[in-house]
Structure 1
């Protein structure tokens, strides 16, 4: 039926875009064939099918010179809405949006708003009883960017890491809020005195989604697999040997002391994969991953990702039965871009805009910032420290926050907000910036700023701001799927992106060692060598305070040398209806699906959560 509806809309758009429903117009079989890009023979078959379905009325002209008469019997808006709802209900969200873009020439209003209102009810937390006697708890929500990879060895984005943590499990678990580690796949471990040997003991009964028990061989394979050019290879750069002591025990030896290596072992990048499946067909495994986490993969297409609960998860099954994540098409018109859709959805927009006293409101500053790196490996005006400093002094972060709006709240002078962030003065000196521009010898050359799928409003604002001082900055929008591409990174003068320092030291190490990381790939050779040497020394210190001091010293140096530009901090917030429980932000700024549940007896269409 969907194919037939497509053909009806194609003919309507071409031959009768302004005709009234039921009113006859003149048409020929040849014109119908032209609208469908097919032969007249096939056009006749389509006409017959459309007539049989009651979508059109066709009166063939008799004799030469007598045109046929065509009437469209289905009202376009109603048909579009019904068709889009059918597609969305099957998870074909992109096709639904493309339907409106292809067949609805009107700008906003009407059917668009009806569809958006329907989506607000479709997304969120629901209970479905249509799949048998047992109710199925489902969480549906959309995102505006694709998942780049579900391979633990290839992580560049926080959202990818979040989904990987739902599918896989790690040897050790780390609680960011309490700064404590706890057992994961390893129920116990020993660390030698100088932190160069880590002996781990795997728990019995922990299984992959295919039912096979996890062994030390899987751990060995998972860590060894990270070596080489993998995005997460930096995590095993200090590993010299992995010794298998038995089917559920192993020892990892390091070349140098690393006082936070146990936190490496808790990261998404060190998730454990089944060695036999990856060895058999790695490409197949990457597309259809099998882990041991609280959820298993049902489907991963261009439209959506579907997860179902792992009923045999060793730490207890999730309360949710299914999670459906819809991938919205890139570049949607603004009428589709409800900011409330950014992460989790609700049912009632009025409830979210003016939440009642029963709603739980949670807000916190994002553990990271929007920033920009200068590509110091590429020639250009930005090679001048005076030029880079001038841009910093011209930025006017508070004005940017005010004019761009949204969840932008404070100017940034480092990776993460501190207690001083709300009262910190912005660095702004236009006259000194003009002097520095003259000193740098800048002569109007164009600076290319690369962004990847997001931050368009921020980048365009910066371009307009610098243009006020005759600094030409052009924004290049690169596909998010190209993150980590060395050629793209090398071709940009600067890159704007958002860094998440979710695990403090571990994330900062990643910034300076990960291949394809914007910061690591942009620093000059001498600066990078100094930074990496500082990090290596810090990892051997048994004092967390000393390690923090080293990382702040690195941060201060790359900022004061104008090698990076820290721009602003954002606020994360969520509203949770009282019937929805277990709603808390994790260290990646998302919610762990395993912990979300609906209060017994609550409405099957209760408003859920919004970020």
Structure 2
């Protein structure tokens, strides 16, 4: 009731008090005017005014006699009330309404900046009292990326994949640091000499969040579901048969050798789902999915996604009791990114260590930003000379210098390597103009699609192309829209970032996953050639052989101009030294499970 009354106070303040020199100045107004402003009857206006007087927000002086107008005195300063109201909304997890309120009532005031500053203290690690009974350790993270899907079979984005890893497990896990596959839901595995038959032996005593023990039947159901038209069905395209070979053993037969098939089984897409719940009501299941992971799905709406700890996790309980992912609206601007950089800190320790002693973790992402050219659509991009001209027009080093932030190095291919900091990528405007003339380019505009996250890069590229007569029309789409094949096919080119969470597997994924921008834009003939190369690579006995073969595909992409490799980026996370267990996952996010706080006493 008080929140509603406060919003109505702001409505009246904006309607009758804006422009008045100071709070406390009487304003002449009638009940009819107030009723019109609040869209209610005069009777309800009197109730609202009485409530505001009780809160000491206003003083109401009714007019006495004919021709004497009533007077309304506003006693609370608008910005103070607006900030307090937005803060209370945020504390309840209502981030979008809070920003909408500020946008409506705070135009031209510093409230938005003050609210953003307050949010930086709101986020991070905090010990909170729950229901006045027990303390819980919570981590609150602001993001400007919404979850598109939690269905492992259809995941396209790194953020979604990271959330899936919190809720679900796979048969095995790939340790990128050690460069090896380690046990997960399967405690052991083996293959035949030809790598065409693989067996995985399941752990005992692994339970889904809803209390049912995981069985071989759940694993087979999940893999068969993945094969049936999901975006990641490519992972199992050579599978002939999936069956049990004993009570807790899964046997998978392949049509072709795949010596890294166990790494395929570590992909988030192969997460094991509970057959009973999915088959019972799949639509309801995805509103609050149940897995075997370290965290369970809680509240999920347009403002936030809440993870609560799985106390019975087979691989050890997480130290955190929960994680709140707060979806920041566009009105928040770049503040959430700034907040993310100084995110992991304990509010109880903030005065005990100066900020200068915080630990900063900087990681160079295993991937790049890039442009893919749509070879399935008529347009200037059909000319290899045109595509090469655009590549030469883009001066990556100037782009890095002018745009700054997380942009680190010019990209020659998908991954950074030891020579990346030293490598200079060719930029030649004169040659580019000559190629444009030779290609017969007639000024036809090209459409570049991207998300809000890459808009600065897109505008920079469009400006440089425009300087040389190439018209670029930019269209911004959100992640949900990019799930639609027709949106991908309408673009002449798409600017996006690719991340190789699992080096070889993710590289293959970019050529084979349904909905991959690269795959959808490549000519069918190129895709068929690439698939044959991939099959040869999977049959190879060493990683060196696989790298050489996959390198042939990447070289052809670059030489024929199917892709414009742009930049390699970094991630930065600063955290208080009292926070322990901070590691970055291969997906570029903090692994939530092992985060914990060391108190000032060292306990």
Q: Do 1:170 and 1:184's aligned partners in 2 also have CA atoms closer than 8 Å? A: yes
Shift of residue 297, structure 1, vs aligned partner: 1.2
Change (3 A) 1:602 1:98: farther
1:124 to 2:153 alignment:
no
1:11 to 2:12 alignment:
yes
Residue of structure 2 in register with 1:607 after alignment: none
Give the whole-Å Cα distance in 2 for the aligned partners of 1:89 and 1:182: 40
**RMSD (CA atoms):** 2.1
Residue of structure 2 in register with 1:561 after alignment: 560
Give the whole-Å Cα distance in 2 for the aligned partners of 1:437 and 1:386: 7
Give the whole-Å Cα distance in 2 for the aligned partners of 1:16 and 1:312: 57
Give the whole-Å Cα distance in 1 for the aligned partners of 2:26 and 2:345: 44
Secondary structure of the 1:225 match is helix
Residue of structure 2 in register with 1:113 after alignment: 113
Q: Do 1:320 and 1:597's aligned partners in 2 also have CA atoms closer than 8 Å? A: yes
Residue of structure 2 in register with 1:327 after alignment: 327
Change (3 A) 1:603 1:96: farther
Shift of residue 42, structure 1, vs aligned partner: 3.5
Mapping 1:439-454, distance limit 5 Å: 439-454=438-453
Shift of residue 62, structure 1, vs aligned partner: 3.2
Give the whole-Å Cα distance in 2 for the aligned partners of 1:575 and 1:5: 37
TM-score (norm: length of structure 1): 0.94
Residue of structure 2 in register with 1:222 after alignment: 222
Give the whole-Å Cα distance in 2 for the aligned partners of 1:551 and 1:34: 69
Secondary structure of the 2:456 match is helix
Runs of 4+ in 1 over 6 A off after TM superposition: none
Pick from 70, 90, 110: which aligns with 2:72?
Answer: 70
Change (3 A) 1:603 1:189: closer
Shift of residue 160, structure 1, vs aligned partner: 0.6
Q: Do 2:341 and 2:573's aligned partners in 1 also have CA atoms closer than 8 Å? A: no
Change (3 A) 1:585 1:299: same
Shift of residue 134, structure 1, vs aligned partner: 4.1
Residue of structure 1 in register with 2:384 after alignment: 385
Residue of structure 1 in register with 2:193 after alignment: 193
Structure 1: unaligned runs, 5 residues or longer: 605-611
Q: Do 1:120 and 1:347's aligned partners in 2 also have CA atoms closer than 8 Å? A: no
Secondary structure of the 2:89 match is helix
- Bigger drift between 96-105 and 128-137 goes to 128-137
Secondary structure of the 2:199 match is strand
Residue of structure 2 in register with 1:359 after alignment: 358
Give the whole-Å Cα distance in 1 for the aligned partners of 2:186 and 2:570: 35
Shift of residue 44, structure 1, vs aligned partner: 3.5
Residue of structure 2 in register with 1:267 after alignment: 267
Q: Do 1:484 and 1:515's aligned partners in 2 also have CA atoms closer than 8 Å? A: no
- Bigger drift between 516-525 and 360-369 goes to 360-369
Shift of residue 337, structure 1, vs aligned partner: 5.2
The aligned length equals: 599
Give the whole-Å Cα distance in 2 for the aligned partners of 1:324 and 1:463: 37
Residue of structure 2 in register with 1:466 after alignment: 465
Residue of structure 1 in register with 2:231 after alignment: 231
1:257 to 2:263 alignment:
no
Shift of residue 188, structure 1, vs aligned partner: 1.3
1:140 to 2:118 alignment:
no
Secondary structure of the 1:361 match is strand
Q: Do 1:415 and 1:566's aligned partners in 2 also have CA atoms closer than 8 Å? A: yes
Residue of structure 2 in register with 1:54 after alignment: 56
Mapping 1:92-491, distance limit 5 Å: 92-106=94-108, 109=110, 111-132=111-132, 134-333=134-333, 336=335, 338-341=337-340, 344-346=343-345, 355-356=355-356, 358-491=357-490
Q: Do 1:172 and 1:185's aligned partners in 2 also have CA atoms closer than 8 Å? A: yes
Change (3 A) 1:248 1:419: same
Secondary structure of the 1:584 match is coil
Q: Do 1:143 and 1:343's aligned partners in 2 also have CA atoms closer than 8 Å? A: no
1:540 to 2:539 alignment:
yes
Q: Do 1:409 and 1:570's aligned partners in 2 also have CA atoms closer than 8 Å? A: yes
Change (3 A) 1:546 1:36: same
Residue of structure 1 in register with 2:88 after alignment: 86
Secondary structure of the 2:483 match is coil
Secondary structure of the 2:552 match is helix
Give the whole-Å Cα distance in 1 for the aligned partners of 2:114 and 2:452: 28
Give the whole-Å Cα distance in 2 for the aligned partners of 1:316 and 1:347: 23
Q: Do 2:126 and 2:346's aligned partners in 1 also have CA atoms closer than 8 Å? A: no
TM-score (norm: length of structure 2): 0.95
Change (3 A) 1:235 1:602: farther
Give the whole-Å Cα distance in 1 for the aligned partners of 2:183 and 2:379: 51
Secondary structure of the 1:98 match is helix
Q: Do 1:27 and 1:68's aligned partners in 2 also have CA atoms closer than 8 Å? A: yes
Q: What are the Cα deviations for residues 277-320 of structure 1, in whole angstroms up to 9, with x where unaligned?
A: 00011011111110110111121111111111111001110011
Q: Do 2:346 and 2:597's aligned partners in 1 also have CA atoms closer than 8 Å? A: no
Shift of residue 116, structure 1, vs aligned partner: 2.4
Secondary structure of the 2:194 match is coil
Change (3 A) 1:603 1:142: farther
Shift of residue 248, structure 1, vs aligned partner: 2.0
Change (3 A) 1:547 1:204: same
Give the whole-Å Cα distance in 2 for the aligned partners of 1:519 and 1:201: 36
Q: Do 2:170 and 2:265's aligned partners in 1 also have CA atoms closer than 8 Å? A: yes
Structure 2: unaligned runs, 5 residues or longer: none
- Bigger drift between 528-537 and 375-384 goes to 528-537
Q: Do 2:173 and 2:182's aligned partners in 1 also have CA atoms closer than 8 Å? A: yes
Q: Do 2:116 and 2:332's aligned partners in 1 also have CA atoms closer than 8 Å? A: no
Residue of structure 2 in register with 1:32 after alignment: 34
Q: Do 1:370 and 1:567's aligned partners in 2 also have CA atoms closer than 8 Å? A: yes
Q: Do 1:217 and 1:247's aligned partners in 2 also have CA atoms closer than 8 Å? A: no
Q: What are the Cα deviations for residues 65-106 of structure 1, in whole angstroms up to 9, with x where unaligned?
A: 322211112211111111111111111111111111111011
Change (3 A) 1:452 1:586: same
Secondary structure of the 1:409 match is strand
Q: Do 1:484 and 1:517's aligned partners in 2 also have CA atoms closer than 8 Å? A: no
Give the whole-Å Cα distance in 2 for the aligned partners of 1:118 and 1:572: 24
Shift of residue 50, structure 1, vs aligned partner: 2.5
Change (3 A) 1:236 1:360: same
Shift of residue 347, structure 1, vs aligned partner: 7.2
Q: Do 1:196 and 1:253's aligned partners in 2 also have CA atoms closer than 8 Å? A: yes
